[in-house]
């Protein structure tokens, strides 16, 4: 249970200008802006999340313009758009006990996980500690690294391993919500990333003498030269409690440091309940930056509340 990490809701706070420009060019994201006398006073964005029929949104309103219906108007645009697109669930993250959180709850949102946003700072990376983790013997396994396209020999096993994310301790995944990954979906995901100028870097632990992926960690690397985002980290059930999650994450950190010399930070999000992965992150040098609540709401119900 402990060796699972999800990456869908992991935006890094205080991101670099390069990372923000990269996100603004992401074709998966739709954005709106609210204007008053030619000045932008609020904005909203929405993109597909990691689960089927689920969209992830963020809404921003200038502090002195809050309470005037700006956020509600932007939310209405998001809801109309996502309802027309066939989405069923709208998700976002908020700081606990804030006006945004209270507003979402008044509109019928449900609180799921409390999330920990962690960062690994590369300028202060403890290479010696990571190298000790990587060189520790893991009898019966070997490491495989790839960027962009998964090896044909491993793709089927890799797709099955991706399904094991269902075991992650969380409060937001309903039964059947995890994508039924197969080689076709993996290839489709790779093409979509390539179309927006990004690729997935993967480090996997493979069972010796086989093409069976026992564990992997994945990081999305885009045009930004200074920020990267952690995606899933998974250890398949029968291979847990063997230190594989720490092994692949330590190897990935060293790989990023060696191949991306300008990289300053890797950000990751983990459920507070996922104590196993939080321990793995601590062992590989991540530190906690902040915490947020993941909240979700049914789009059809929200449309009714907004009288759309």
Contact 267/258 with Cβ under 8 angstroms? no
What backbone torsions phi and psi does residue 196 show, to the nearest 5 degrees?
-105, 15
Residues 202 and 216 sit within 8 Å (Cβ to Cβ): yes
Give the C-alpha distances (Å, rounded to integers) separating 45 from 22, 53, 119. Answer: 14, 17, 24
Q: How far is CA 95 from CA 12, 100, 139, 290, 295, in A?
A: 14, 8, 43, 9, 10
Per mean pLDDT, which of 47-51, 273-277, 282-286 is the most reliable?
282-286
Determine whether domain 4-8+117-290 maps to CATH 3.40.630.30: yes
Neighbours of 123 (CB within 10 A): 7
Mean pLDDT within 64-79 = 92
pLDDT digits (tens, 9 = 90+) for 27-55: 778 999 999 999 999 999 998 886 778 89
Buried b or exposed e, range 264-301, using 16+ CB within 10 angstroms? bbbbbbbbebbebbbebbebbbbeebeebbbbbbebee
The string of pLDDT tens digits covering residues 94-140 is: 888 888 888 888 889 988 888 999 999 999 999 999 999 999 999 99
Residues 63 and 261 sit within 8 Å (Cβ to Cβ): no
For 69-82, b where at least 16 C-beta lie within 10 A, e where not — what string? ebbebbbbbbbebb
| Contact residues for 89 (Cβ-Cβ < 8 A; gap 6+) | 49, 51, 53, 54, 55, 296, 297, 298, 299
**Quick one: tokens of 165?**
């994310």
> What is the structure's pLDDT at 49?
80
- Does the domain made of 17-115+295-305 have the CATH classification 3.40.50.300? no
Give pLDDT, residue 19: 53
Is the predicted pLDDT of residue 171 greater than 80, yes or no? no
Paired tokens of 244: 């594989």
Model pTM score: 0.81
Distance separating alpha carbons of residues 210 and 169, to the nearest angstrom? 29
Residue intervals of the chain classified under CATH 3.40.630.30 are 4-8+117-290, 17-115+295-305
Q: Look up tokens 């885009």; give the residue.
A: 222
pLDDT of residue 193: 87
Confidence of residue 237 (pLDDT cuts 50, 70, 90): very high
* Contacts with 22 (C-beta within 8 Å, 6 or more apart), sequence order: 197, 198, 222, 223, 224
What is d(CA 187, CA 115) in angstroms, rounded to the nearest whole number?
30
Asked if 243 and 137 touch (Cβ cutoff 8 Å), the reply is: no
- Spatial distance between the Cα atoms of 268 and 119, rounded to a whole number of angstroms: 6
């Amino acid at each position: 249970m402990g060796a699972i990490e999800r990456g869908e809701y992991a935006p890094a706070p205080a991101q670099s200008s390069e990372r923000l420009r990269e996100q603004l060019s992401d074709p998966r994201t739709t954005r709106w802006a609210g204007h008053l006398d030619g000045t932008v006073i609020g904005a909203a964005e929405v993109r597909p999340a990691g689960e089927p029929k689920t969209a992830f949104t963020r809404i921003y309103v200038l502090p002195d313009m809050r309470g005037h219906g700006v956020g509600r108007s932007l939310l209405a645009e998001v809801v109309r758009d996502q309802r027309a697109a066939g989405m069923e669930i709208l998700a976002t993250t908020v700081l606990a006990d804030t006006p945004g959180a209270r507003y979402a709850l008044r509109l019928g949102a449900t609180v799921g996980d409390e999330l920990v946003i962690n960062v690994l700072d590369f300028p202060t990376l403890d290479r010696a500690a990571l190298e000790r983790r990587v060189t520790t013997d893991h009898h019966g396994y070997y490491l495989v690294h790839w960027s962009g396209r998964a090896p044909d020999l491993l793709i089927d096993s890799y797709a099955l391993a991706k399904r094991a994310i269902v075991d992650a301790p969380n409060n937001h995944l309903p039964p059947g919500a995890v994508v039924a990954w197969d080689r076709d979906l993996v290839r489709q995901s790779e093409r979509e990333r390539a179309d927006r100028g990004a690729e997935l870097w993967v480090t996997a632990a493979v069972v010796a003498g086989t093409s069976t992926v026992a564990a992997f960690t994945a990081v999305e690397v885009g045009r930004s030269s200074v920020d990267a985002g952690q995606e899933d980290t998974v250890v398949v059930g029968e291979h847990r409690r063997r230190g594989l999650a720490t092994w692949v994450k330590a190897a990935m950190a060293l790989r990023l440091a060696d191949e991306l010399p300008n990289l300053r930070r890797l950000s990751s999000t983990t459920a507070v309940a996922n104590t196993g992965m939080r321990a793995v992150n601590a062992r590989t040098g991540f530190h906690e930056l902040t915490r947020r609540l993941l909240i979700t709401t049914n789009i059809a119900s929200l449309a009714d509340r907004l009288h759309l």
